[in-house]
Amino acid sequence: METGSPDSDSILPLDHRECERARSRRDRRYDGRFFTGVRTTHIYCRPVCPVRPAQARNVTFYPTAAAAEASGFRPCLRCRPETAPFSPAWQGSRATVHRAVRLIRAGALDNANVEALAERLGIGSRHLDRLFGRHIGASPLQVARTTRIQKAKRLLDETKLPMADVAARAGFASLRRFNAVFAEVYRRTPTQIRRIRFKPV
Ligand SMILES: [Zn+2]
């Protein structure tokens, strides 16, 4: 796992100062366009997070939730990054990346590997990795992982489905895997996560 490298900003389609201004004002127009990693707490947030903003010197900005997670940040339980609007920031990026993300969201990497995904897109897997690095700041596998976590988190918050169903619907290979990933990402079990209730931001 990488820790917030200074290079992370280079893939951000937005200016660092613009992000900082949006974050300090909780500007809703920027919701989904970037995420803020707080290095002191290892938590990442939406720009609209109601929690008192961290000091500017402790934050790093990322273009996607997957990029923040790939750098070792955990999703904020208060602003719920999994509920951020689909990012318009990289909607203008390459059509191939866009298509790949759509396929991943539909579960393309739940039962098949990156090579198979790349083949469906008509490119090599290394090229796909490079495109993801440039436009998303995370690999296809990291995006798939974040997508599963986000789906599961929304199901935990919005349904009363049994844990095994949440795991299966979110695309996890097993309940054990689901529990392990949640423990790693949230430092809590899915049951503990389900008990936490905040008003939506
Ligand atoms: Zn937050």
Task: Enumerate the domain spans of the chain.
Answer: 6-83, 95-140, 142-193
Question: With contact defined as beta carbons under 8 Å apart, do 7 and 60 qualify?
Answer: no
Which pLDDT belongs to residue 12? 76
Low-confidence ranges of the chain (pLDDT < 70): 1-11, 87-93
The CATH number of the domain covering residues in 142-193: 1.10.10.60
CA distance 94 to 133: 12
pLDDT in tens, 174-192: 999 999 999 999 999 999 9
The answer to whether domain 6-83 and domain 142-193 are alike in fold is: no
**From ligand 1's centre to the CA of 10, what distance in Å?**
23
**From ligand 1's centre to the CA of 77, what distance in Å?**
7
CATH class of the structural domain 6-83: alpha beta
pLDDT in tens, 151-175: 999 999 999 999 999 999 999 999 9
Question: With contact defined as beta carbons under 8 Å apart, do 164 and 91 qualify?
Answer: no
CA distance 12 to 64: 9
Q: Pairing mode, if any, of strands 59-62 and 74-75?
A: unpaired
Q: Could you tell me how far CA 130 lies from the centroid of its own chain?
A: 18
Residue partners of 104: CB distance under 8 A and separation at least 6: 117, 140, 143, 144, 147
The CA angle 66-44-95, to the nearest 5 degrees, is: 30
| Ligand 1 ion: residues within 5 Å (CB) | 45, 49, 76, 78-79
**From ligand 1's centre to the CA of 46, what distance in Å?**
6
Which pLDDT belongs to residue 200? 81
Question: With contact defined as beta carbons under 8 Å apart, do 98 and 128 qualify?
Answer: no
Which pLDDT belongs to residue 62? 93
**From ligand 1's centre to the CA of 150, what distance in Å?**
15
pTM of the full predicted structure?
0.85
